[in-house]
């Protein structure tokens, strides 16, 4: 456990009590999704950009074009942003604006764009194919997409989750989003926790999801796996990617947690905090301002060591969030 940390954002100093631990564990074993062209295997996964750390993104959107990022994901070499368009609808926070994904060489079936319509430096494809809609789906998913190949060899592809877009994002909107997407210097994804020195042995941090809790209420998460794990080839990140050995998820102590708390078994204590342990499945720890669930099949001692070295902040206060590693 740790002391406190203070971070300034938007001109306001926010002090966060971090002597709290919340942890839970989840084993995710979903079949690896691969994107293949007809009769050809997918290329070996490319190494992540050496200038970008696992909790950082180089993908961004131009906010002056009317977009804000509501969730950032790094999954191995792949980066994905979910964005809100301030130009759609009457809500001052905007409405769902689409997905932006950066595919390094070897992680995308580029041949799909060989039949696409070229407009300036971008290509439009009415039926771009992903291995699935969400992680874990076995059936291919198609939707309109605009792709652009960066000089670095990275493909930036923009598209819309049809379940969320409700038919309101058309071809002009995709081209506008593609023009706003860009690559830049690495920047940190922030979460309500920081990992300590005790990390899962033999595994690496390969997955981070950082949502803006004002708009995206899904849990922030980090995941550990073998370094060679392939990123998800599905279109959207509504769940954890395949083949994570350890996933650490955070959530606020809200009404939903109160209901869940009453159903838990295996009560114990870790670092003086209420905890619930389900062997081979998960460890949950309740802190003052956060609930952390670590999901994994690793031995309890490994999970306990991971939790005892966490620095936990306030899950309900994104202004106080920090990079998961330093």
Q: Which of 84, 153, 155, 77 is nearest to 116 (CA)?
A: 155
Listed residues 188, 210, 244: the one ending a domain: 188
- The answer on 247 and 304 residing in a single domain is yes
The residue behind tokens 């809790």 is 213
pLDDT at site 299: 95
Instruction: Give dist(CA 60, CA 80) in Å, integer.
Output: 9
Task: Report d(CA 105, CA 182) in Å as an integer.
Answer: 16
Domain boundary among 162, 188, 214: 188
- Residue written as tokens 């971090």? 18
Question: Does 224 share its domain with 272?
Answer: yes
Total count of domains within the chain: 2
Q: In this structure, is residue 37 part of a structural domain?
A: no
Q: How far apart are alpha carbons 223 and 177 in whole angstroms?
A: 29
Let me know whether 184 and 217 are in one domain: no
Q: Which domain holds residue 220?
A: 4-29+189-320
User: Which H/E stretch holds residue 300?
Assistant: helix 300-308
Q: Is 316 exposed, middle or buried (0-12, 13-18, 19+ CB in 10 A)?
A: middle
pTM of the model: 0.83
Boundary-marking domain end, from 188, 214, 234 = 188
Q: What angle do CA 243, 192, 232 make, to 5 degrees?
A: 25
Cα–Cα dist 310/312, whole Å? 6
For residue 50, tell me if it sits in a domain.
Answer: no
Residues 180 and 231 in one domain: no
DSSP-based helix, strand, coil % in the chain, nearest 5 = 15, 40, 45
Alpha helices in 149-217 (DSSP H): 162-165, 171-180
Kindly report the CATH number assigned to the domain that includes residue 282: 3.40.1000
Q: pLDDT tens track of the chain, all 326 residues? A: 443 343 434 333 333 333 333 333 333 322 222 223 333 333 334 444 558 999 999 999 999 999 999 999 999 999 999 999 987 666 767 789 999 999 988 888 888 998 899 999 999 999 999 999 998 888 999 999 999 999 989 999 999 998 888 888 999 999 999 999 999 999 999 999 999 988 999 999 999 999 987 778 789 999 999 999 999 999 999 899 989 999 999 999 999 999 999 999 999 999 889 999 999 999 999 999 999 999 999 999 999 999 999 999 999 898 999 999 97
Q: Is residue 80, in this structure, part of any structural domain at all?
A: yes
With respect to residue 46, please indicate whether it lies within any of the assigned structural domains: no
């Amino acid at each position: 456990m740790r002391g406190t940390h203070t971070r300034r954002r938007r001109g306001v100093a926010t002090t966060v009590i971090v002597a709290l631990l919340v942890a839970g564990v989840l084993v995710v074993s979903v079949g690896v999704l691969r994107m293949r062209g007809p009769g050809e295997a997918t290329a070996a996964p490319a190494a992540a950009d050496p200038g970008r750390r696992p909790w950082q993104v180089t993908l961004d959107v131009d906010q002056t074009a009317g977009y804000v990022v509501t969730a950032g994901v790094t999954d191995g070499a792949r980066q994905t942003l979910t964005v809100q368009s301030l130009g759609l609808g009457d809500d001052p926070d905007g409405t769902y604006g689409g997905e932006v994904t950066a595919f390094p060489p070897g992680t995308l079936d580029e041949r799909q764009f060989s039949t696409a319509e070229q407009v300036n430096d971008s290509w439009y494809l009415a039926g771009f194919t992903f291995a699935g809609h969400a992680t874990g789906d076995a059936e291919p998913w198609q939707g309109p997409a605009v792709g652009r190949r960066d000089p670095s060899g990275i493909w930036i592809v923009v598209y819309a989750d049809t379940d969320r877009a409700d038919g309101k994002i058309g071809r002009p909107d995709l081209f506008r989003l593609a023009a706003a997407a860009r690559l830049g210097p690495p920047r940190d994804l922030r979460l309500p926790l920081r990992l300590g020195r005790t990390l899962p042995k033999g595994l690496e941090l390969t997955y981070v999801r950082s949502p803006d809790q004002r708009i995206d209420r899904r849990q922030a998460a980090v995941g550990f796996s073998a370094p060679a794990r392939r990123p998800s080839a599905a279109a959207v990140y509504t769940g954890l990617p395949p083949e994570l050995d350890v996933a650490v998820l955070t959530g606020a102590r809200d009404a939903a947690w109160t209901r869940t708390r009453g159903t838990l078994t295996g009560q114990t204590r870790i670092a003086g905090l209420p905890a619930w342990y389900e062997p081979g499945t998960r460890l949950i720890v309740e802190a003052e301002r956060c609930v952390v669930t670590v999901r994994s099949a690793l031995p309890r001692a490994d999970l306990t060591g991971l939790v005892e070295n966490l620095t936990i902040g306030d899950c309900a206060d994104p202004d106080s969030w920090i990079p998961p590693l330093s």
